[in-house]
Amino acid sequence: MMSWVGQYCIYVSDLETAIRFYETLGLVCTSHTDLDEAKEAIIENPDKGGRLQLAQKIERSGPIEMGNAFWKLYVATNDIQKVYKAAVDAGYRSKAEPTHADSESITTASVEDPDGYEVVLIQRHPWGDDDETTYVWLDQYSIYVSNLDRSLEFYELLGLECTSRNETDTHRQATLERTGKGGKIQLAQQVANGAPIDMGTSMWKLYVFTDDCEALHQRAVDAGHQSLIDPMRPERWPVTISFLSDPDGYQVELVQLD
């Protein structure tokens, strides 16, 4: 079986406002879907990196309650000054101006999207793939977990690979992906905070794509993980899907394209 990170889906209070923010950074809205209960859009660079799904619930109003689950979204670029300036000039809030870290050969900056999600802009000098021409792409999504080792075991069971891991005085972190395919997800455990994960109204689901939804779903269930929806084929799309709960209650949708 093969698995890869499809996209992470977060709720926004106004879909069109959120789309404009990410387009200001240089990303593209490649899909727009209206459902009975929500309006959705996919934000990405179609040629590189991951994908972000934005969803606005039709019957919900008011600000997004962030909880303590979402940490930050990384947007990678080869021109961080340009991306940062575009965001600030458009009136979006800056949390940190571009700062170069000589020890790590990276420049980072931070801005907030309209709902308060932190977006970290990152430029590595150079990127490992020697790409100096791509302007901007989605790098990875960072979420908090209560037990890093337990969460790693779950996502590795789904077929993702841990490609980096590091520890600081405040965080234990690991990044999971299918190298060269799909997006990346970063899991982070706060060393001094043992509070349960609270998604508020910000988090919806993580898509993990696979070439065998039924077998992968059963593997997770056999290992003791909770099935939310058994494998099924929805009428609207030519896919097989199922839903699992990860150890902290994040909803994971397995998707097999038919």
Residue with tokens 């050969």: 105
Could you tell me if residue 97 is left (phi over 0), alpha (psi between -120 and 50 degrees) or otherwise beta?
A: beta
Q: For residue 143, how far is the Cα from the chain centroid? A: 8
Q: How many helices (H) and strands (E) does the chain have?
A: 4, 16
* 50-79 burial: b if 16+ Cβ within 10 Å, else e: bbbbbbbbeeeeeebebebbbbbbbbbbbb
Kindly state the DSSP code that residue 3 receives in the 8-state scheme.
Answer: E
Q: Which residues contact 189 (CB under 8 A, 6 or more apart)?
A: 144, 145, 146, 147, 148, 171, 172, 173
pLDDT at 41: 97
Cα–Cα dist 163/179, whole Å = 8
Cα–Cα dist 137/231, whole Å = 32
Q: Write out pLDDT tens, residues 156-193.
A: 999 999 999 999 999 999 999 999 899 999 999 999 88
Q: Write out pLDDT tens, residues 184-222.
A: 999 999 998 888 999 999 999 999 999 999 999 999 999
Which range among 27-31, 57-61, 104-108, 216-220 shows the weakest confidence by mean pLDDT? Answer: 57-61
For 3-257, which CATH superfamily applies? 2,3-Dihydroxybiphenyl 1,2-Dioxygenase, domain 1 (3.10.180.10)
What phi and psi, each to the nearest 5 degrees, are found at residue 59? -95, 5
> pLDDT tier at 137 (50, 70, 90 boundaries)?
very high
The average pLDDT across 128-157 equals 94
